Amino acid sequence: MKYLVILLIISVNLLYSQKKYEFKYPINSENIKIYRDEWGVPHIHGRTDAEASYGLAWAHAEDDFESIQKTYLMSKHMLGRVTGKEGAKVDYVHQLLRLDEFIDNEFHNIVPPYFLKVLEGYCQGLNSYAKKYPKEVIYKKLFPINPRDVLKGYALSVALMSGLDRNIKAILNGKILYPEPIGASNAFAFSRNKIVEGFTTVIINAHQPLEGQVAFYEAHMVSDEGMNIHGGTFPGAISILHGVTKNYAWAHTTNHFDKIDVYQLTMKSPKSNEYQYDNEWLKLEIRKAKLKVKMGFLTIPVSKKTYWSKYGATLKTKQGVFSLRLAANQEFRTAEQWYKMGKCNNFQEFYEVLKMQAIPVQNITYGDKEDNIFFISNGLIPRRMAEEINWSCAIQGNTCKTYWEGFMDITSHPQVLNPKCGYVFNVNHTPFQCTGAGENPNPENYPCKVACFEMEDNNRSLRFRELYKDRDTISISRLKAIKYDLVFPEKSNFMDLVYRMQKLDEKFPEMRDICSIFKQWNRSMDTTNIQASIFYLAFVPIFKEFEYSTVLFRKKFDLPDSMLLGGLKFAKDYLLKYFGTLELKYGDLLRHRRGNKDYAIGGYPDVLASMMGLPDKDGRFKAMRGEDLIIYAYFNENGLQKIESIKAYGNSSKKNSPHFNDQMELYLKNGTKSMSLDLELITQKAIKNYNPR
Residues 152-169: what's their mean pLDDT?
A: 91
pLDDT beyond 70 at 177: no
What strands, in cross-sheet order, belong to the sheet with 298-308? 285-295, 298-308, 313-317, 320-326, 260-264, 395-396
- Distance, in Å, from the CA atom of 404 to the CA atom of 324, rounded to the nearest integer, reads 12
- pLDDT tens digits along 24-48: 999 999 999 999 999 999 999 999 9
Residues 161-177: what's their mean pLDDT?
A: 80
What strands, in cross-sheet order, belong to the sheet with 415-417? 415-417, 373-376, 363-368, 248-253, 242-244, 228-233, 217-223, 42-46, 32-36, 688-690
359 within some domain: no
Total number of residues shown for the chain: 693
Which residues on adjacent β-strands are paired with residue 38?
Answer: none
Range of the domain at 513: 493-607
- pLDDT tens digits along 251-287: 999 998 999 999 999 999 988 999 999 999 999 999 9
Number of domains the chain is built from: 1
- pLDDT tens digits along 188-234: 999 999 999 999 999 999 999 999 999 999 999 999 999 999 999 99
Per-residue confidence band for 4, with pLDDT thresholds at 50, 70 and 90: very low
3-state secondary structure 603-646: CCCCCCCCEEEEECCCCCEEEEEEEEEEEEEEEECCEEEEEEEE
Give the sign of the dihedral formed by CA 165, CA 171, CA 173, CA 178: positive
Q: What is the residue type of 509? A: P
587 within some domain: yes
DSSP H helical ranges for 374-447:
none
246 within some domain: no
Measured CA angle at 293 (ends 652, 296), to 5 deg: 80
Per-residue exposure over 111-146, b if at least 16 CB sit within 10 Å of its own CB, e if not: beeebbbbbbbbbbbbbbbbeeeeeeebbeebbebb
Residue whose C-alpha is closest to residue 179's, from 429, 548, 461, 449: 548
pLDDT beyond 50 at 15: no
- Distance, in Å, from the CA atom of 602 to the CA atom of 611, rounded to the nearest integer, reads 7
- pLDDT tens digits along 517-558: 999 999 999 999 999 999 999 999 999 888 777 888 988 899
Residues 401-426: what's their mean pLDDT?
A: 97
- Distance, in Å, from the CA atom of 320 to the CA atom of 472, rounded to the nearest integer, reads 56
Residues 608-629: what's their mean pLDDT?
A: 96
Q: What is the pLDDT of residue 669?
A: 98
pLDDT beyond 90 at 19: no
570 within some domain: yes
pLDDT beyond 50 at 2: no
Burial class (CB in 10 A: 0-12, 13-18, 19+), 646: buried
Share of the chain above pLDDT 70, in %: 96
Burial class (CB in 10 A: 0-12, 13-18, 19+), 63: buried
Per-residue confidence band for 683, with pLDDT thresholds at 50, 70 and 90: very high
pLDDT beyond 70 at 16: no
**Would you say 114 and 177 are in contact if contact means Cβ atoms under 8 Å apart?**
no
Q: What is the pLDDT of residue 17?
A: 44
- Distance, in Å, from the CA atom of 174 to the CA atom of 151, rounded to the nearest integer, reads 32
682 within some domain: no
- Distance, in Å, from the CA atom of 255 to the CA atom of 441, rounded to the nearest integer, reads 15
What mean pLDDT value characterizes the chain? 94
For 218-233, the DSSP string reads EEEEEETTS-EEEEEE
Q: What is the pLDDT of residue 174?
A: 73
Burial class (CB in 10 A: 0-12, 13-18, 19+), 426: buried
Per the model's pLDDT, the better-predicted residue between 123 and 555 turns out to be 123
Q: What is the pLDDT of residue 166?
A: 84
Share of the chain above pLDDT 90, in %: 88
635 within some domain: no
- Distance, in Å, from the CA atom of 496 to the CA atom of 172, rounded to the nearest integer, reads 33
Q: DSSP code of 374? A: E
**Would you say 231 and 204 are in contact if contact means Cβ atoms under 8 Å apart?**
yes
691 within some domain: no
Q: DSSP code of 474? A: B
- Distance, in Å, from the CA atom of 656 to the CA atom of 653, rounded to the nearest integer, reads 9
**Would you say 515 and 505 are in contact if contact means Cβ atoms under 8 Å apart?**
yes
Residue whose C-alpha is closest to residue 201's, from 420, 428, 366, 375: 366
Q: How far is CA 530 from CA 85, 520, 526, 614, in A?
A: 41, 9, 9, 19
pTM: 0.94
- pLDDT tens digits along 460-502: 999 999 999 998 899 999 999 999 999 999 999 999 999 999 9
- Distance, in Å, from the CA atom of 261 to the CA atom of 404, rounded to the nearest integer, reads 10
588 within some domain: yes
